[in-house]
Each structure stands twice: as structure tokens, then as C-alpha cells.
Structure 1
Amino acid sequence: MDSKVGRAVNEVIDAMVERRSCRSFKADMPSEEQLDAVVEAGLYAASGMGRQSAIILKVTDRALRDRLSALNAQVMGAPEGTDPFYGAPAVLVVLAARDVPTHVYDGSLAMGNMLLAADSLGLGSIWIHRAREVFGSEEGRAILAQLGVEGDYEGIGHCAVGFWEGQKPEPPARREGRVFCA
């Protein structure tokens, strides 16, 4: 399969092929407009039966961002002071309503849309796991309550967002033997 198929013909496919996970962010905060565009892309993700079970926490407050980073590091068993968000100034957290059977898939699609949207706007991003554990904890539930989030939500992922520090890497070669035709 030629990876160039559709390229230069379709910007969405270009974004899918060129997006990379960013593991080194500048301290500069993206603009409100950029972050809102990324969030909006997440809100327009496909969802099972159109239920729109995913919600997004837009975290730009440094104290809350650092608190979430510390909770995430604790879940992963990392040494104190580790930043699982790689220095990203903003974190967009996706959660989804547990009572919707497709909530994990719905939230995953929202995450995917946001990662692609960030790249299309010239931003770096990375999906950081452990949102389920962070927001399943007493402290995580307290954060949701403080933010006025009501309901039973499961954390799906943290989309760390900011400007690239350094160059975006080239895509690695695609592993062969992953497509079967019938």
C-alpha cells in the first residue's frame, strides 16, 4: 500500500500521515483560539448512536495542570517531580459517561480528533494515558466536583498540547503485513 495515496489531495489524510507525538514542549501557551479549535474538533468526533458521551476539561491553569501531572506520575509509579505531560502548558482531558456502552470508543475518537486538530494548527500533542486511574481516585473525583462536573465519568486520556520544542520527527517506516484483502 502506497503511503502517498491521497496525499496532496486531502489535508485530513496528510494530517494523519504527518502527525507525531510531541515529547518536548515549549513553555509558551497556545492561543485561546487554537485550544478552542482543538477542543471543538474533539466535540465533533463520531460517537456511538450520536450520544456524544465524551466531555473535555480544558486545563490551562498551571496549578491544576501540575496537580494532574503529579497524580498521573503517582499512578505510573514515577519518581516525584516527573512530568508525564513533557512540559506541555495545556492539557485537554477527555472523560466519557460510563452509562453509555460505547464510552471508551467515543472518548478515544475525541482524543484522535484533537491530536489531528492540534497538528493541523502547528501544535504538538501527545496522548497520555492513566486518566481512568487519575479520575477514578478520590482526588480526581474531587477535582471533577470542584469544576462542577456532575455524573459518572471515566477518564479516557490526557491530550497534552503546546508548541514543539525542536523539530517534529519523520515518520517511522510502517510495519508490513498489517493489511489483508478479501
Structure 2
Amino acid sequence: MNETLKVLETRRSCRNFDKERMVSEEDIQAVVKAGTYAATGMGRQSPIIIAVTNKELRDRLSAENAKIMGTATDPFYGAPVILIVLADKDIPTYQYDGSLVMGNLMNAAESLGLGSIWIHRAKEEFESDFGKKILADLGIEGNYEGIGHCAIGYAAAPANAPAPRKENYVYYVK
């Protein structure tokens, strides 16, 4: 099987990251670059990615996300790197574009031996004063909506085997 198809078939969400091991800058850059090559409607590139390796901001994002979710646990499962995807709401395909970026990020992470998981609630975070301040502090202007957080890091345990695919997943018309 070719390596791309193997990655697509074996990638699973990681819910237990090695909290002591940081991802190399080279691997972070490779994952982020892959995200920037996701297909976007009419090539408009509506998404942006905020790559967070700063522990203080990572922990603040975790606390805010947990508050939105209504829990006190770390919704990022200890991942040391959070890649936040936002997309320009003025582009009609922004949600699809941002979702494809998230997929590219997770698949690129898998290809490098990293675990990943899509964590929601970015929309609520970046609609709040908390998220708006982060954007303002970074000098990011525009009509952006949070699409998701791609938490990446080294898995603390092997991934589970994929579940069998459901019946009637695909219908062929020949």
C-alpha cells in the first residue's frame, strides 16, 4: 500500500499525549506547511493557522476551552502543540476550507509519527473577548471564525486499531 493511503487508513485521534516530549520545530513547520496546502474554494485560502507552542498560552486556551465545555479537565489531552485554524467568514466556503486544513494537519502529523486530535469549541473561544484579545495581540484583523484546534504531540500509548467500516458506507453507480 502506498504511504499516503496507509496514513489515511491508520490515523486515529490521540487522547493521551506524552506531556514531557516537545515536538521539534522542524516537524511543527512541516505539519503547518501541509495545512497551508489544503484545497480551498476557488483557491481563496480563507483559513489561517495560529501555531501555539507557548505553554502559558496553551494552558490558557485549555482552561477557556474546558470552561466552554463545562469541565475542569484538559480538553487537549496534554498535547504540547495546539494549531488553531480560523477562517474568513466573508468567504462562502470558509467552513469547508478550514475543515480541509484540519484534515491536512492531522494527516501530516500522522505521517511524521505524531499523534493528533481535532478539538472543537474554537468558534466559541474566538467569538469571546478571550479569543478576540488573542487575535488583537497577534495583530490579526478580519472576520474570522474558529474552526478547530489540532492538538499534536507524541502519543503516550499506541493508537487503537481502526473500527470496521460500517455497511453501506459507499454506494457505487456504474
Gaps of 5+ in 2: none
Corresponding residue for 1:25? Answer: 17
- The number of residues matched between the two structures is 172
Superposition deviation, residue 13 in structure 1:
1.1
Structure 1 counterpart of 2:122: 131
Deviation at 1:178, TM superposition (A): 1.4
> Is 1:14–2:1 an aligned residue pair?
no
Task: Tell me how far apart the structure 2 counterparts of residues 168 and 122 of structure 1 sit (CA, whole Å).
Answer: 11
Counterpart-to-counterpart distance in 2, 1:131 and 1:60:
17
Partner residue, 2:171: 180
Q: How far apart, CA to CA, are the structure 2 residues paired with 1:12 and 1:49?
A: 25
Over the matched positions of the two proteins, sequence identity in percent amounts to 59
Q: Select the residue among 59, 76, 85 that pairs with 2:52.
A: 59
1:154 paired to 2:145: yes
Structure 1 stretches of at least 4 aligned residues deviating more than 3 Å after TM superposition: none
The equivalences for 1:52-131 within 5 A come to 52-78=45-71, 80=72, 82-131=73-122
Q: TM-score, normalised by structure 1?
A: 0.93
For structure 1, the residue ranges without an aligned partner over 5 or more in a row are 1-7
Distance, in Å, in 2 between the alignment partners of 1:160 and 1:64 is: 14
TM-score (norm 2): 0.97
Letter of the 1:91 counterpart: I
Letter in 1 for 2:14: C
After superposition, the CA RMSD in angstroms is 0.7
